[in-house]
């Protein structure tokens, strides 16, 4: 039985040299798979933007069942075998590295998944998010449709630069679904639609 997901490592990135994208992706695909080896992540996935004119071109998501998602990454990074020893690693441009805790999730990322939509948001006024989480849980539980496989809500734990406090990840198959409006009281910081390019699962 698979352990329940507690959080994710979430990375938005790009390639420093547009003429070496194939080299970059070959390196990053291998690196993403290697992140599973220390045993703190259950899945690793890489996505490529569906809109080359907007936002960071690449997204990576690593799911953990560890009690502390922040420590899961710290322990993984510590045990990776010199990932930046490969000269292709210098092509990596990172826009955001962050750890998020799972608040609510509905649905199942079955093998039919072809892409993901992300929405990052922040409170319009009060910095206290406590009152928002119940509404966000309700949004996730009522959002599944024909193409929408899983809708997950996360809260930020740490990151560089400081991440938006609320993250939604909507996984879909086929055409991207139309999402419900943001919960009342939230302001959109960043959104994007990504096509899946790599998936690795422990076992």
Domains of the chain: 7-201 (3.30.70.100)
Q: Are 166 and 153 in contact (CB under 8 A)?
A: yes
Please report, to the nearest 10 degrees, the dihedral formed by the alpha carbons of residues 123, 193, 156, 112 taken in order. Answer: 130
- For the segment 4-11, the average pLDDT, to the nearest whole number, is 95
Beta strands in the chain (DSSP E): 7-15, 43-49, 58-64, 92-107, 115-123, 148-160, 166-172, 186-201
Coil, strand or helix: which one is 87? helix
Q: What is the mean pLDDT of the chain?
A: 86
pLDDT for residue 169: 93
Residues in the chain: 203
With b for 16 or more beta-carbon neighbours within 10 A and e for fewer, the 162-172 pattern comes to ebbbbbbbbbb
Tokens of 39: 């045993």
* pLDDT tens column, 25-55: 999 999 999 999 999 999 999 999 987 667 7
* pLDDT tens column, 122-159: 988 765 566 666 666 666 555 556 678 888 989 999 99
| Backbone torsions φ then ψ of 161, nearest 5 degrees | -65, 175
């Amino acid at each position: 039985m698979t352990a329940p997901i507690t959080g994710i490592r979430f990375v938005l990135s790009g390639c420093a040299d547009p003429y070496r994208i194939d080299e970059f992706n070959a390196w990053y695909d291998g690196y993403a798979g290697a992140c599973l080896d220390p045993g703190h992540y259950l899945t690793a996935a890489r996505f490529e933007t569906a809109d080359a004119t907007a936002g960071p071109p690449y997204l990576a998501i690593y799911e953990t069942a560890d009690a502390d998602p922040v420590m899961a990454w710290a322990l993984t990074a510590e045990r990776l075998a010199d990932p930046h020893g490969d000269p292709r690693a210098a092509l990596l441009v990172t826009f955001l590295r962050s750890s998020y805790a799972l608040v609510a999730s509905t649905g199942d990322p079955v093998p039919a998944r072809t892409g993901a939509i992300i929405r990052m948001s922040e409170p319009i006024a009060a910095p206290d998010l406590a009152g928002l989480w119940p509404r966000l849980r309700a949004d996730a539980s009522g959002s599944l449709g024909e193409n929408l496989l899983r809708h997950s809500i996360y809260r930020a734990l740490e990151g560089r630069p400081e991440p938006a406090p609320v993250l939604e990840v909507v996984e879909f198959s086929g055409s991207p679904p139309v999402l419900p409006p943001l919960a009342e009281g939230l302001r959109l910081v960043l959104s994007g639609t990504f096509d899946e390019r790599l998936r690795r699962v422990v076992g």
